A = this chain, B = another copy of it.
Amino acid sequence: MDASRVRVVQIGAGTIGATIARLVMRRADLELVGVIDSDPSKVGRTLLDVLGAETTPLVVEGDLSAIHRLAPQIVTHSTLSDLALIAPQLEAIVSAGCSVISTCEELSFTESLDARRIDQAARASGVAVLGTGINPGFVMDRLPATLSSVCEEVEAVHITRVVDTSQRRRQLQIKTGLGLDLATFDAKRAAGVIRHVGLPESARLVATYLGWKPDSLVETIEPVVADRDLHTDSGVVRSGAVAGVHQTVACFVDGFERIRLNLWMAYGVRRPRDEIHLYGSPPVHMEIRGGIFGDSATAGVVVNSIHSVLGLTPGLASVLDIALTRAMAGRRPGVERK
């Protein structure tokens, strides 16, 4: 054990969890002291085996109570989007005296009872809890908030994120309905299965940040229909079937639409990007070409936030409470260029 390094336990050994764990291991200022996942097919296996991580004797543990023995200062947590399902877990972690950074989208901005219990438990233990990621956590909330700092006044905020799922993991393609017929899409949408979580949270973060009190949020979820046959790794998706999903949130303040969020996630969608319009003085129109790549960037955001979260006032925080966070600076000779 090296006292100068922050002790980190990763909970969740899925795609994002594995990426976070590998990044923690690469950082000289952090020490990965454990990985916990409830999946019996992963428990007891080495990190090399489960995560492709090469330089650790750790094995995946199955029982959350291991954190008492592992005694991390902070838990990075990447399991589910549904706060109600993970709230007891988070309460147990903070009650054990560990701060938490979770990719749970619903945790990024919430006033639910679950969140209040987590907040109280964190205050009682003197630790902080943050929900973050790329979306929510950056593209549609922290980044427009940062950009707004150059405006005298902001009249409206429009944000569009376009994700080409052909460049992303199969899991995201399935989550966004790829290949479904429209009737099945409708049924899954009605069941709440097809829905990226986090847009209302981002809209509320931006509104709260700028000082707007929303009257209402209006959310829509529509299929993106393939306008050509799509030749995917898992077979052909015919023209007319579902290629992905288009979600919007409109946020009204005193009857006027002040915030509009647009999220397109579809296979082969044209011109993937993150685009932010701040209508104000001066206006700001920003685009990130190709969009921020969600998987490695989520790991980046989570791991880069560790020191900031350890410095926060105890309780449940939001991404707008934390100061700037820093990435690792390259040390390797030569520079990768794209």
- A residues engaging B (CB < 8 A)? 23, 26, 134, 138, 142-143, 145-156, 209-212, 254, 256-258, 279-290, 292-293, 296-297, 299-301, 303-305, 320-338
Is B211 touching A326 in the complex (CB atoms < 8 A)? yes
Among B153, B284, B288, B301, contact of A328 (Cβ-Cβ < 8 Å) = B153
Who on chain B is nearest to A19 by CB? B152
A251 to nearest B CB, angstroms? Answer: 12
Among B143, B153, B333, contact of A146 (Cβ-Cβ < 8 Å) = B143
> How many angstroms between the C-alpha atoms of A150 and B135 in the bound complex?
11
Interface centre among A152, A257, A258, A301 (most CB of B within 10 A): A152
Who on chain B is nearest to A276 by CB? B288
A15 to nearest B CB, angstroms? Answer: 14
Who on chain B is nearest to A137 by CB? B150
A282 to nearest B CB, angstroms? Answer: 4
In the complex, which residues of chain B have a beta carbon less than 8 angstroms from the beta carbon of A284? Answer: 288, 292
In the complex, which residues of chain B have a beta carbon less than 8 angstroms from the beta carbon of A257? Answer: 335
Who on chain B is nearest to A293 by CB? B282
Is A327 touching B286 in the complex (CB atoms < 8 A)? no
A152 and B288 contact, Cβ closer than 8 Å, known pairs A279-B337, A329-B210: no
> How many angstroms between the C-alpha atoms of A210 and B326 in the bound complex?
6
Is A327 touching B296 in the complex (CB atoms < 8 A)? no
In the complex, which residues of chain B have a beta carbon less than 8 angstroms from the beta carbon of A327? Answer: 148-154, 210, 280
Is A332 touching B300 in the complex (CB atoms < 8 A)? no
> How many angstroms between the C-alpha atoms of A143 and B324 in the bound complex?
10
> How many angstroms between the C-alpha atoms of A146 and B141 in the bound complex?
12
Q: Can you list 9 A-B contacts (CB < 8 A)?
A: A138-B150, A148-B327, A151-B300, A152-B327, A209-B324, A211-B326, A254-B331, A254-B333, A281-B296
Is A256 touching B333 in the complex (CB atoms < 8 A)? yes
Is A304 touching B23 in the complex (CB atoms < 8 A)? no
Among B279, B288, B324, contact of A145 (Cβ-Cβ < 8 Å) = B324
A17 to nearest B CB, angstroms? Answer: 15
Among B148, B279, B281, B303, contact of A152 (Cβ-Cβ < 8 Å) = B303
> How many angstroms between the C-alpha atoms of A169 and B89 in the bound complex?
58
